[in-house]
Structure 1
Amino acid sequence: MTTRVPGMFSLVLHTHLPWLAHHGRWPVGEEWLYQSWSACYLPLMRVLRRLAAEDRRGLLTLGMTPVVTAQLDDPYCLDGMHHWLANWQLRALEATTLTGDNSEALRQFGIREHGHATEALEDFTTLWRHGGSPLLRELIDAGTLELLGGPLAHPFQPLLAPRLREFALREGLADAQQRFAHTPDGIWAPECAYAPGMETGYAAAGVTHFMVDGPSLHGDTALGRPVGDTDVLAFGRDLQVSYRVWSPKSGYPGHGAYRDFHTYDHTTGLKPARVTGRKVASEDKAPYDPARAAAAVDTHVADFVEVIRRRLISESERIGRPAHVVAAFDTELFGHWWYEGPMWLEKVLRALPEAGIEVGTLRAAAAAGFTGSPVELPPSSWGSGKDWQVWSGEQVADLVQLNAEVVDTALASVDKALAHASSPGRTPARDHVADQILRETLLTVSSDWPFMVSKDSAAEYARYRAHLHAHATREMAAALDSGRRDAAVRLAEGWNRADGLFGALDARRLPRP
């Protein structure tokens, strides 16, 4: 008989991509969306549906940002994904026909890859053609997972004007309600970013719990902690556990048996190599071997379960009561960055209860009393240094200034437009120009752009996107402020063709100054 381990373990995944539709294809743009969708979202959904069919409940806490769910539901993106999957199938088929001295390994890889592409294409056309929200709603309804929400367009909230911060959060929660018929009571704050006092805004919006990184709780993540004078709980990521899987320098995905993310066959665009070794050049990588990879997965599943078991026991002993351990990751790690990730995830979720470990969501942990005494949190994030430097440092000072100027312009213009349209005792008509101004403003202040600049990851694209949305905001506001209403309407309609996400966004709900 398996001995029950004290406490509870929660796995939290954060699903996010910036708005990529209509904004380039390669090397950064829609291809990023379609790769993540095919390699991560499709297999992850397959795993969760299998487990749900076995009536397994409370498996994980899944954060879905409004901007990523908007893309998974968008007709343009759905069509693009369908074409991408068909193209993947054709590229795999091409690999099976290659001839030459060194082509046999690639041919065998192509045969396997063609089978995976065919499965994905059938899966997508059968289940996904009406978007991702209906599939997620089934899992939420079944109790398989807890949904975490977040503010529209993933802004770095501590640097955002309070009125726009409140608007983005409330609209983000409303967006989830429309898509899933569930309003999340927990959120993954973008970048786990926190500034003192934000808990008050969370409480007012109906948020009961949110994620922070471990150092925000001074490394003591064994319990959720009420923040300040509120009942809003902060749950901290346990870095000792989370870094076992993925860290800036190590983790399971770097094992030599796993598929190498960076090595391409330039004829087909497929990835036929394994990591082999950290210092092995791409041209010297060994062919991918599924049996070798599967054996590594089993080893890493057993290791992770043992890590969780030991951590729960040691933390429970340390605090003198059953402890709560949270491992948290970007969802895209599982499949996109780490090809074998979905396989590992399914096996872990099966193995943990078999080892006597209780698995539950953040909401379940709160309900079960895994909470401690109130805490005052410092300004923090899960970025480099665990502070705000990635989003407010010298290297992105120009973007910080751009964001402040654009937000000031947008708020002043929208306030003026709504005041002009108002009359005593009557609600003004919806103003689609004001809506689009706020939509482009929120896209301007997305946390992705300064992150990509600070990390020198497609920095040029990130700056282009920030300035593009800033330009859209400014030219609409200028037309509106100068009385050129017809021009403002034409501009808003044009920008909406590219950035028509969040159709229910309503500027009239912006808090008044």
Structure 2
Amino acid sequence: MPHFGSFALVLHSHIPYCRKSGVWPFGEEWVFEAMAETYIPVLDMLSEIAESASGPRVAVSLSPVLADQLADGYMQSRFLEYVEMRKKAAVRDADRHEAEHDDRLASLARGHAEYYEYAADRFADHYRGDLPGAVARLASRKAVELLATSATHAYLPLLSEERARVQMRLGCEACERHFGVRPRGAWLPECGYRPGAIERILTECGIDYFIVDTHAVAGGAARVAYGVESKCSGADELPGPVPIPSMATLRPYLLSGSQLVVFARDEVTASQVWSRETGYPGDGNYREFHRRDSVSGLQYWKVTNKLLDLGQKQLYDPVAAAGAACEHARHFVELVASRLARYRDACDEQGLIIAPYDMELFGHWWHEGAAWLRHVMCALTEDERVALTTPGTYLLSHRPSAQISIDECSWGHGGKHGTWANSDTKWMWESLARAEALNQSLCSKRGTLRGASLAMADQAARELLLLEASDWPFLVTTRQAKEYAEERFLRHLEDFETLARAALTGAHDDEALAALSSAASRDSLFDWVDSEKL
């Protein structure tokens, strides 16, 4: 029977650069948690789908700064130390609870130990310690579609056009370097868009399409992972046969004045997955993220009820949680099919649901999310009502003709730039503007630099890229790791200024040489890039 329409899952993954910059609660363990809880199970799922289907069924974006960390020998060996440490902590918990005759907690602890052993085996034996290589193999088999994103996940709308160009160009080169693919699509960090500059840069990079949040096309309220809903303008006028505004996102558009295609996130299906308040992750059977054992830090409790204090949470039941994941997967598949059927009936054409998510949601933030995702993708692979696709594959046979203009937007609070630019982060953007001005002076003199001056200029360029990461203002605004983010920003700023000025003046004093040695040892990202492109 004919499909009702199509469904495109887009998984974006990013962790800030944490190599040798703290461990816990802020630092390298951010990466290691995501590797154990998300990247390994999601790669397992993608490999399983690749065996049962032809052609790409999932679109994936890994930030270059994350891919560099995953490919780094130091981080790979530290990950194995991390999972061994967590396994031993779980074994100690099991012994402790058995001594206290608490069989349920002992069983949960043994489950943790078994999983960490599994993660270590999959990483070391199956993936040979090379997760980017596993993605590259999937890409070479055309089992996944790769999207580019900016080098250090910089928030592009607030950068100068030239710095946004450097970030995005390096992002495309990183995609080729790590995965062997020249990307056709782009993931704009935080779905951040500004008219004019960004489409010029994407076009120069050979990008064909990008993704925005719902409100950028449909208007109305921005319901986002980072804040409460806020009214947004959206497009001035919706072209084409879309009589119901909430269905405006079920088709792509040509961006006015360009050949770029714009896809928008479908809010109706997304809210079921993103929202802890009204969506699946808030189910009482799922594992509670925030309550941890006071000795080991492991999680043994379930959500129970969202209104309960952490101390009132009940013990986790893996069997009940697995059943809930299956049921929610069935519900999601039916929601997708019914939404596409409604669009087809209303618009007399087949629609497309774009489903972009942060990959770390599945397994890390929502423990059962990885299992849920596997159930969903396996079910959709077999469902005759829905065609699994990717944005690039869809465009091969559904090139849009309707044009649309969109305003500045993001998927942050209020749908604009306020999550990253506000009174708490104003000093960061002012500091960054001064750093960019100093970098222009450095670039103009670069061709004359030699020896230590050239090495300092190269490392200063890396520090500037790290300084531009969207993570620092985001963590300050959300208070998730305010002090850590401010410390990191100031450290990269100080290193950049010290190295840039030393390179410009040729004054290689002890302070400058020490800054070069320390920064080069710690911030060694993008060592594969031609230094003139940094």
Question: Do both share a fold (TM > 0.5)?
Answer: yes
Q: Is the 8 Å Cα contact of residues 225 and 374 (structure 1) preserved in structure 2?
A: yes
- SS of 2:278's equivalent in the other structure is coil
Q: How far does residue 491 in structure 1 lie from its aligned partner after superposition?
A: 3.2
Per mean C-alpha deviation after superposition, the further-off stretch among 101-110 and 182-191 is 101-110
Alpha-carbon distance change, 391 to 290 in structure 1, aligned in 2, over 3 angstroms: same
**Cα displacement (A) at 1:504:** 2.3
- Candidates 241, 246, 251, aligned match of 1:223: 251
Q: How far off its partner does 1:490 sit?
A: 5.5
Residue-by-residue CA offset, 1:346-365 (whole Å, 9 max, x unaligned): 11011123332101011111
Q: Is the 8 A contact 2:63 2:150 kept in 1?
A: yes
**Contact 1:7/1:324 (<8 A) preserved:** yes
Q: Is the CA contact (8 Å cut-off) linking 2:6 and 2:388 kept in structure 1?
A: yes
Query: Is residue 326 from structure 1 mapped to residue 354 from structure 2 by the alignment?
Result: yes
Partners of 1:370 and 1:299 lie apart in 2 by: 35
Deviations 1:388-428 (A, max 9, x none): 1111222211111111111211222232233x349xxxxx9
| Residues 324 and 370 in structure 1, CA contact (< 8 A), matched pair in contact too | no
Q: How do residues 116-127 of structure 1 correspond to structure 2 at under 5 angstroms?
A: 116-127=115-126
Structure 2: distance between partners of 1:290 and 1:346: 17
Structure 1 residue 41 corresponds to structure 2 residue 70: no
Superposition map of 1:151-230 within 5 A: 151-197=150-196, 198-219=198-219, 220-230=248-258
Specify the alignment match of 1:494 in structure 2.
518
User: Against the structure 1 CA distance between its residues 55 and 307, is the aligned structure 2 distance closer, same or farther, given a 3 Å change threshold?
Assistant: closer
- Residue 295 of structure 1: CA displacement? 1.1
Q: Tell me if the contact between 2:18 and 2:27 (Cα under 8 Å) persists in the aligned partners.
A: yes
The residue matched to 2:425 in structure 1 has which SS? helix
Residue equivalent to 2:429: 400
Tell me the secondary structure at the aligned position of residue 148 of structure 1: strand
Determine whether 1:371 maps to 2:397.
Answer: no
Gaps of 5+ in 2: 220-247
Task: State the distance in 2 between where 1:57 and 1:126 align.
Answer: 27
Cα distance in 1 for residues equivalent to 2:401 and 2:285: 42
CA–CA separation in structure 2 for the residues paired with 1:28 and 1:112: 26
Determine if contact 2:280/2:328 at 8 Å carries over to the other structure. yes
Q: Does 1:97 align with 2:95?
A: yes
> TM-score normalised to the size of structure 2?
0.90
Give the deviation of 1:509 after TM superposition. Answer: 3.0
Over residues 410-457 of structure 1, what are the superposed CA-to-partner deviations in whole Å (9 max), with x where a residue is unaligned? 222232233x349xxxxx999332221111011111111111111111
2-structure distance, mates of 1:161, 1:135? 35
Residues 430, 508 of structure 1: 8 Å contact kept: no
SS in 1 for 2:355: strand
Q: Secondary structure at the match of 1:263?
A: coil
1:366-445 counterparts in 2 under 5 A?
A: 366-369=395-398, 371-418=400-447, 420-421=448-449, 431-445=454-468
Please say if 1:260 is aligned against 2:317: no
Counterpart residue number, 1:504: 528
Hey, what's the Cα distance between the residues in 2 that align with 1:429 and 1:473?
A: 15
- Give per-residue Cα distances to partners, 1:464-511, cap 9 Å, x unaligned: 11111111100001212222257656533431111001112334236x
> CA offsets, 1:359-397, max 9 Å, x none?
101111111205241211100011011101111222211
- 317-326 or 16-25, which moves further after superposition? 317-326
Contact 2:276 2:282 in 1 (8 A): no
Q: Identify the residue that residue 236 of structure 1 maps to in structure 2.
A: 264
**How far apart are the structure 2 equivalents of 1:74 and 1:277?**
41
SS in 1 for 2:264: strand
Aligned pairs, number = 502
2:473 paired residue number: 450
Normalised to the residue count of structure 1, the TM-score between the two structures is 0.94
Per-residue CA distance 1:100-119 (angstroms, 9 max, x = gap): 55632110112222221111
CA RMSD of aligned residues (A): 2.0
- Counterpart of 2:442 in structure 1: which amino acid? S
Structure-2 change in CA distance of 1:159 and 1:248 (3 Å): farther
Q: Secondary structure at the match of 2:211?
A: strand
In the aligned structure 1, how far is the partner of 2:530 from the partner of 2:497?
19
In the alignment, the residues of structure 1 paired with residue 184 and residue 452 of structure 2 have an alpha-carbon distance, to the nearest angstrom, of 31
Question: Which amino acid in the other structure matches residue 214 of structure 1?
Answer: T
> 1:100 and 1:250 mapped to 2: Cα distance?
40
Partner SS for 1:395: coil
- Aligned to 2:424, the other structure's residue is in SS state helix
Unaligned stretches of 5+ in structure 1? 423-427
Query: What is the CA distance between 1:299 and its match in structure 2?
Result: 1.2
Counterparts of residues 206-355 of structure 1 (less than 5 Å)? 206-219=206-219, 220-247=248-275, 249-355=277-383
Could you list the per-position Cα deviations for residues 244-279 of structure 1 after superposition, in whole angstroms to 9, with x for gaps in the alignment? 111374311111111111111122221111111112
Does the CA contact (< 8 Å) of 1:199 and 1:228 recur in 2? no
Amino acid at match of 2:145: E
Once the two structures are overlaid, the 10-residue window that deviates more, 232-241 or 110-119, is 110-119
Amino acid paired to 2:395? A
Following TM superposition, the consecutive aligned residue runs of length 4 or more in structure 1 with deviations greater than 6 angstroms are none
Other-structure match for 2:80? 82
Aligned partners of 2:280, 2:383: CA distance in 1, in Å?
A: 21
